[in-house]
Structure 1
Amino acid sequence: MDRRSFLRAAVIGSSASVAFGFSVTPQALAFPAQTGPSPYGGLRTADANGIMLPQGFTSRVLARSTRVVSGTSYTWHSAPDGGACFADGTGWIYVSNSEMSSGSGGASALRFNSSGAITGAYRILSGTTRNCSGGATPWGTWLSGEETDLGYLWETDPFGTKAAVRRPAMGRFSHEAAAVDPDRRVIYLTEDVSDGGFYRFVPTTWGDLSAGTLQVLRESGGALSWVRVPDPDGSPTATRRQVSGMKIFNGGEGCYYRNGTCFFTTKGDNRVWAYNAVNNTIAIAYDDNLTSSAPLTGVDNITGTTVGDLYVAEDGGNMEICVITPADVVAPFLRVTGQSGSELCGVAFNPAGNRLYFSSQRGTTGSSSGGITYEVTGPFRTTR
C-alpha cells in the first residue's frame, strides 16, 4: 500500500483524523479538501507585475526591499515574511516581519488612508533574528516570532509609538506563528522544526503576556490533552523534549483561529490541520497526499475570511496562494510568475476584507534584498 492509500485508510479508520467543514458546528464529515473549481474562476494571463489573477482582480507593488517606500522616507526591510493588518481610524496598517539573521531582522509597517493610499512607513521592531511569522492580538499588538533555537516572541506596537517587548513566558523555541483564541483566552503557537510541538500560552491575566503558563499538545491512546511545559526557557532541554508523549508536527508554519477552530500548517508533510478547541480534537483539513492533482504544496502562511475561506501561501511549489473553501474545495487564487527562487508569505486582509496583502520574500532576484510586498484588490467573497 502506498503512502497516499495508507493515509486515506487511516483517515477513514480514525475519528481523530477525519477532516470536517470549517464551521464550528460541522454540517458533515468530509475527507481533507479536494481539488475543485475556484469560487473566483480560473487564473488569467499574468499582469504587468507578473501575477496571474482571476477576472476582476488587480495587483499593485507597495514596497521593495532596500528601496524607499514611495511617498515616504523609509527604506523597506529585506526578506519580508509574516504579516497582519490593523484598523487605524478610517484607514489601516499592514505590518510585515523581516526574516534576516544575526540581529538584522525585526518588523516594519505600512500605513494606509481610507482610500488605500500609503501615508507612512516605519520600523516597529529592530535587532532581532529571523522574524518569520506571528499573529495579531485583539488588543491591537503584533506578536513577532524569532525562528531560531531559543528564539523569543516579541510583542510590538503596529503604530510604532511603544517599544517592542520580549515575552519570555511564551517560551524559547523556533517560533513561527501565533493565533489568539479569545474564547478560551489562550494563544496557539507553532514551532518550525521537523519534530516540533503545537503549543498554547495561557496568560495569567488576559491581555497581559508578561506571565502565564506554556502548554504543549500531548496525545495518548488517541486522546488529546494540554500539558504544562516545565521549563519554557528551553535550556538546557528544548521545550519540545520536556513532555513525554507530545504530539509531533513536521515543521509548523502559519496559524489562524476562527470560531472555535485553530488552523495551522506543517510544511514537512504539506498539511493544513484543524484543531477543534471546542471538542479538543484535531483533523486534517488538507493533505497533498490525500488530494487528487493537489494544487497546494509547500504550505506556509495562512489567513482566512469571515465567510470561511482559508488562504494559504506557498513556500515553493509554483508560487501560488490557494483558497480552501468551507465546502472542502482547494484551488489556486493567484500565481506569481518569474520568481521561482522565492516564497510567498505575509497573507493578510485589511479590516474591510476587500484588499489582500502578501510578499514575495526574495522576488525576481532570489535574494533577500529582492523582496516585494503586494496588494490585491477585487470582488472578494462576502457570502457563500
Structure 2
Amino acid sequence: MDRRTVLRTAVAGGAAAFAGGLWAGAAVAAPAQPGVGPYGPLRAADANGIMLPTGFTSRVIARSRQVVPGTSYVWHDAPDGGACFTAGAGWIYVSNSEITPGGGASAVRFHADGSVASAYRLLSGTNQNCAGGATGWGTWLSCEEVSRGHVYETYPQGGTTAVRRAAMGRFKHEAAACDPDRRVIYLTEDETDGCFYRFRPTTWGDLSAGTLEVLVAGSGTSGPVTWARVPDPAASTTLTRRQVSGAKGFDGGEGCWYADGTCWFTTKGDNRVWAYDAVRQRIDLAYDDSLVSGTAPLTGVDNITGTRSGDLYVAEDGGDMEVCVITPDEVVAPFLRITGQSSSEICGPAFSPDGTRFYLSSQRGTSGSSSGGITYEVRGPFRTRFL
C-alpha cells in the first residue's frame, strides 16, 4: 500500500494541528523501522544540553518556580502535555502541571516575532493534569491522570474560567484528540488495562452533554473495531473500562493525535504507536519496539504530535530522553535528545501555528524533581511537505 498520499493541512480551532497525509485513509502496512531521519544525525549537545540536527537551535522559555522571562508569572511545577493556539499575529503555548494537589495549566503568549508577551494561569485546584488536547474551537482540554479523574475545558486566550466536563467520563484520563470530521473527541486512559474512548457531544462545540463510547475489538493488534456506549460515564459503582464486555484493553494509554482520518495514540507499557483508521474503523500498529530490526530508537513512548509534512513526533518518558520522528515512509529516527536529565521525561510536544517552532518540556529537568521542570523552544528548517 502506498502511504505517499497527497498532503493537506487540517487546522483545529486555531491550534497548530498540522495534519499532512499521515498515511491517511489506509491501514498501516507494517510498523515503522529504524532508518535515517529527514534531518540527519544529531550534533553534540548545545548550551542547553540538547542534541539537535544541523540547522536547529534551542532556547529555554520557562523554568518551574521561576518567573517566565519578560513577565511576572512564576511557571508551574512538572510541565506536561501542551499545545499551541493562534493569538492574533502571535500564538499561545499551553502547558499542564502534573502535580497533586495543585495541578492545573498555564500559558505563555508570544508576539509575532517569537518574543514572550505574557504568561498566566488557565486552571487551578485540580490534580495530576497530565496530557490533554486542543479542540476544534480553540480550547484546551486538560486531563486529570487520577482514578476517576475529570476533563477540564480551558480557554487559552485567558479571561474565561475553566469548566469541568463531567459528561466526558471519570477515569484516569491521559490525552484527547479532536476529530472534526466525525465530530468526536478521542480519549486515552493511563491504566495497564486502560481503554480507548470517544466522546460524542450532543452539540458540536459544546462538551456539556454527549455520549461516551469505548472501542471494542478482538485481542489482536490489527483489524476491524466497533464502538459501544459506556452505560455509566461517572463510574458510580463500576470503573468505565470494566462496564462493556469486549472493550479492548491497552497497556498504558498516553499521547493522542488526530489528522486526516486517522487517530494516532501511544501505549507506554508495550512501547507502541497505534493507528485508528476512523474511515475504515480499524486499528493497526504504526510502531512497536519489539518488532524493529536492530536496536529500537524509540522506547518509553509518551506524548505525540504531528506536522503538515505528515511526520509524527513522539516524546519519550525515559528511554534516551529523545523525541523521535516517524515518517510517512515508515522510518523512525531520533530528532533530538536531552542530555544530563535521565531522571526526567519529555512532555508537551507542539508546533507553533506556522510550523517553524517546536515546543516541549523536560518535566523534572536536571534535578529529577517536579520543581525542576524546563520548557524549551526549538527552531530550524522543519520540512513542510513529505518528499
TM range (shorter): over 0.9
CA contact 2:218–2:246 (8 Å) conserved in 1: yes
CA contact 1:81–1:98 (8 Å) conserved in 2: yes
Between the aligned partners of 1:141 and 1:107, the Cα distance in structure 2 is 12
Deviation at 1:223? Answer: 4.0
Number of the residue aligned with 2:136? 138
Q: Which runs of 5+ in 2 are unaligned?
A: 1-20
Between the aligned partners of 2:218 and 2:257, the Cα distance in structure 1 is 25
Number of the residue aligned with 1:48? 47
Between the aligned partners of 1:51 and 1:69, the Cα distance in structure 2 is 20
Between the aligned partners of 1:220 and 1:287, the Cα distance in structure 2 is 18
Between the aligned partners of 1:290 and 1:105, the Cα distance in structure 2 is 37
- Within 5 A, what are the aligned runs for 1:132-211? 132-211=130-209
Number of the residue aligned with 1:250? 251
| Equivalent residue letter for 1:342 | S
- Within 5 A, what are the aligned runs for 1:269-284? 269-284=270-285
| Equivalent residue letter for 1:105 | G
Q: Helix, strand or coil for the counterpart of 1:308?
A: coil
Number of the residue aligned with 1:13? none
* TM-score normalised over the length of structure 1: 0.93
Count, aligned residues: 362
Number of the residue aligned with 1:264? 265
Deviation at 1:24? Answer: 1.7
Given candidates 343, 346, 365, the residue that maps to 1:344 is 346
Between the aligned partners of 2:317 and 2:281, the Cα distance in structure 1 is 29
Between the aligned partners of 2:370 and 2:33, the Cα distance in structure 1 is 34
Number of the residue aligned with 1:324? 326
- Within 5 A, what are the aligned runs for 1:208-219? 208-219=206-217
CA contact 1:35–1:294 (8 Å) conserved in 2: yes
* TM-score normalised over the length of structure 2: 0.92
CA contact 2:264–2:276 (8 Å) conserved in 1: yes
CA contact 1:63–1:76 (8 Å) conserved in 2: yes
| Equivalent residue letter for 1:270 | N
Deviation at 1:159? Answer: 1.2
Q: Deviations over 1:2-38 (max 9, x none)?
A: xxxxxxxxxxxxxxxxxxx932244x96320000001
Number of the residue aligned with 2:14? none
Number of the residue aligned with 1:9? none
Deviation at 1:370? Answer: 0.1
Q: Deviations over 1:177-229 (max 9, x none)?
A: 00000000000000000000000000000000000000000115964110000
Identity of aligned residues (%): 71
Between the aligned partners of 2:237 and 2:132, the Cα distance in structure 1 is 25
Number of the residue aligned with 1:305? 307
| Equivalent residue letter for 1:284 | L
Number of the residue aligned with 2:366? 364
Between the aligned partners of 2:86 and 2:247, the Cα distance in structure 1 is 37
| Equivalent residue letter for 1:52 | M
Deviation at 1:250? Answer: 0.4
| Equivalent residue letter for 2:121 | R
Q: Helix, strand or coil for the counterpart of 1:289?
A: helix
Number of the residue aligned with 1:7? none
| Equivalent residue letter for 1:212 | G
CA contact 2:310–2:385 (8 Å) conserved in 1: no
Between the aligned partners of 1:136 and 1:194, the Cα distance in structure 2 is 25
CA contact 2:313–2:324 (8 Å) conserved in 1: yes
| Equivalent residue letter for 2:344 | S
Q: Helix, strand or coil for the counterpart of 1:123?
A: strand
| Equivalent residue letter for 2:372 | G
Q: 1:358 to 1:273 in 2, by over 3 A?
A: same
Q: Which runs of 5+ in 1 are unaligned?
A: 1-20
Given candidates 350, 355, 365, the residue that maps to 2:357 is 355
CA contact 1:94–1:110 (8 Å) conserved in 2: yes
Between the aligned partners of 2:25 and 2:205, the Cα distance in structure 1 is 28
CA contact 1:178–1:255 (8 Å) conserved in 2: yes
Q: Which of structures 1 and 2 has the larger relative contact order (alpha carbons within 8 angstroms, sep 6+)?
A: 2
CA contact 1:30–1:328 (8 Å) conserved in 2: no
Deviation at 1:235? Answer: 2.1
Deviation at 1:307? Answer: 1.2
Between the aligned partners of 2:28 and 2:327, the Cα distance in structure 1 is 14
Deviation at 1:233? Answer: 0.2
Between the aligned partners of 1:38 and 1:362, the Cα distance in structure 2 is 28
Number of the residue aligned with 2:24? 24
Q: Helix, strand or coil for the counterpart of 1:169?
A: helix
| Equivalent residue letter for 1:24 | A
Number of the residue aligned with 1:18? none
| Equivalent residue letter for 2:321 | M
Following TM superposition, where does structure 1 have runs of at least 4 consecutive aligned residues deviating by more than 3 angstroms?
220-223
Between the aligned partners of 2:48 and 2:205, the Cα distance in structure 1 is 41
